[in-house]
Amino acid sequence: MKSVVANRFCNYVKIHTSSDSRSDTVPSTLIQLGFARLLAEECKSIGLTDISLDTNGYVMATLPKNCNDDIPTIGFIAHMDTSPDASGDAVNPRITENYNGEDISLNGITLSPKEFPSLLHYIGDTIITSDGTTLLGADDKAGIAEILTAMEYLIAHPEIKHGTIRIAFTPDEEIGRGADHFDVNAFGADFAYTVDGGKIGELEYENFNAARADIQIKGKSVHPGTAKNIMINASLLASEIISALPKNETPATTEGYEGFFHVAHLEGSVSSASLSIIIRDFDKNNFEARKSFLQSVVAQINASFAEPPIFIRIRDEYFNMKSVIENHMHIVDLAKKAMTLCNITPSVQPIRGGTDGARLSFMNLPCPNIFTGGHNFHGPFEFIPVSSMEKAVQVLVTIVQLSAQQS
């Protein structure tokens, strides 16, 4: 495989970097720091300057301007961690060259166009998957590979005039903490793009409002034969909370601008149980109503006990960046024009999720999201076409070129 960006990507995905929402450390997993060190060294090796790696695992670097024009400083950002929803350990990327439109057989699973018809858009392309036992990690190691490949290309082609470019790689995006310790002032960009989207052409500046409810349940375990009016089964109380959630408001039953509740983690016994529920909605009022609803469910169950056995903590994770980006639509238009010049039809749509850019936009760094080319993130059916990765690199380079031309 001769693709520079694809080879870089395949090297990255072999490095285990899953984040962990149950951890209180920064980053949440120390394995992310190892990857951060590698990326800092790679930034140095390709010729970037002002390279920094802080104790929290944030990597930043600069491609200095190569002309005297007054050009805005552009940032490109991607995250280092992979989702804890599926194993990210011992990822073994599998290459399918000249894809023929048929099933791709992996270990224990089949990636089929019958279930994933988007595969048929890539007949003749080279497809990268995992071996079927792990996720792949295109979210967001594809973004990292694309950013560094674009920087390497610009360094090798000094005839392309550009302003200062800043890049950053963040930890813990998948658990909603990617912007917690991001130093916007040190980054110093006028605006930025996260390279963290899906299929080719995606361009996003709307995202969910997001919160996570962590619920702890304290039960009372006694012998079941003499348990009447004494036992409190924590697992049953967890199931009662889940049963109270609207059946048609889950990730599997919603699309577009529809919000949902998602039971992300459940663990329990008679004596104790823990439950993690993520709350998502584009509309701020509906978002607040969802949080209130979940709190009322817990309050109603607790009211049946002399000592409430259920403890709930709801933590906001990020908000819909649309309200910020609407005041900076020129950066969306810049990305649209870049895609069009690269023969890509921009697909402007809401993110049914979030990126670091959502929070960074509220930290005075307007930051819409650009595609990586990946599909089916967070699981073993994940795949990415090499041509989409190469197009992402072209789009980043073209954004830089256009910014210089428009200044």
Q: Is the dihedral of CA 383, 386, 388, 393 positive or negative?
A: positive
Q: What is the DSSP string of 136-150?
A: --HHHHHHHHHHHHH
* Active-site hit among 140, 152, 172, 173: 173
To the query of whether residue 317 is one of the catalytic residues in this protein, the response is no
- Rounded Cα gap, residues 390 and 123, in angstroms: 16
Q: Which of 81, 202, 382, 390 is catalytic?
A: 81
- Between CA 38 and CA 34 the distance in angstroms is 6
CA–CA separation, 43 and 144 (whole Å): 11
Contact 218, 204 (CB under 8 A): no
- Angstrom distance (rounded) from CA 52 to CA 61: 6
Burial of residue 196 (number of CB atoms within 10 Å: 0-12, 13-18, 19+): buried
Is 173 tagged catalytic?
Answer: yes
- Residue 140: asked if its preceding bond is cis (omega within 30°), the reply is yes
Helices of type H across 81-192: 138-156, 184-187
Q: Which amino acid is at 160?
A: I
Residues identified as active-site: 81, 173
